Amino acid sequence: MKILTETQSRTIIGIVAAICAFPVMSCSPGAGQTQSQESEEKSNAPLADFKPCSSLNEQQKKQLNITTPGETNELDDQSCDWKANGSDFGISVYSDKPLKEIKFSDAEEKNKTEVNNREALLVKNNTGSGMCSLAFAVTDSSSISVNSMADTPGDTETACDLVKKAAPMVEQNISDS
């Protein structure tokens, strides 16, 4: 039996410790997960930094004939309101509410549809005559509702035409962000 010197013993112990520690570190929970967890959290919460008043670019606002700057709704900072051709127009962001949980209880008519291949719901006269909303799912736990109240009472079709034109623009801007 060969007896090792103190230096040789320390070297062997250091090598063994390094070999044993490497697999433990590389397989332990949290090791190397910071970046993937951050990207996963971001993909699960695409609306976390999405501001409703910034949800349309200037060209899109022009196409929709939006005539006023967007104003954050005083009751809900996740909603923004504009005027478009005299009609009230708004976008509401639900970063933690799935499409199926948006309350449209007073709606006269609800129709399932799609916005750029996303599950959506077209809702007529939810909060009054001439009102139309087109809400779409962003993830399983988040959604956006594009809403319009026609300037002419009872003109639901004008309100629906506006939200049908605007919702794909908003959806595209989520995808681009």
Strand partners of residue 132? 124, 148
CB 51 within 8 A of CB 107: no
Q: Which domains does the chain have, with CATH numbers?
A: 6-44 (no CATH), 52-176 (3.40.1000)
Under DSSP, the state recorded for 107 is -
Name the helix (H) or strand (E) containing 125: none
Give residue for tokens 């104003």: 71
CA atoms 130, 171, 166, 158: torsion sign: negative
Structure letter (DSSP) for residue 92: E
Task: Report the alpha-carbon distance of residue 170 to residue 143 in Å, rounded.
Answer: 11
> Of how many residues is the chain composed?
177
User: Which residues are paired to 118 by β-bridges?
Assistant: 115
Cα–Cα distance measured from residue 104 to residue 123, given in angstroms and rounded to the nearest whole number: 7
In angstroms, rounded to a whole number, what is the distance separating the alpha carbons of residues 3 and 143? 71
pTM for the model: 0.72
Per-residue pLDDT of the chain (177 residues; tens, 9 = 90+): 445 444 343 434 444 333 433 333 344 444 444 444 444 444 456 787 888 999 999 999 999 999 889 999 888 789 999 999 888 999 999 999 999 999 887 888 999 999 999 999 999 988 778 999 999 999 999 999 999 999 888 899 999 999 999 999 999 998 665
Q: What does the block give as tokens for 54?
A: 């910034």
Q: What is the pLDDT of residue 5?
A: 41
pLDDT tens digits, residue range 74-120? 887 899 999 998 889 999 999 999 999 998 878 889 999 999 999 99
- The pLDDT, as a whole number, for residue 53 is 92
Cα-flanking dihedrals φ and ψ of residue 148, to 5°? -145, 145
How far is residue 161 CA from its own chain's centroid? 23
Task: Determine the 3-state secondary structure of 152 from DSSP.
Answer: coil
Q: How far apart, in whole angstroms, are the C-alpha atoms of residue 106 and residue 31?
A: 51
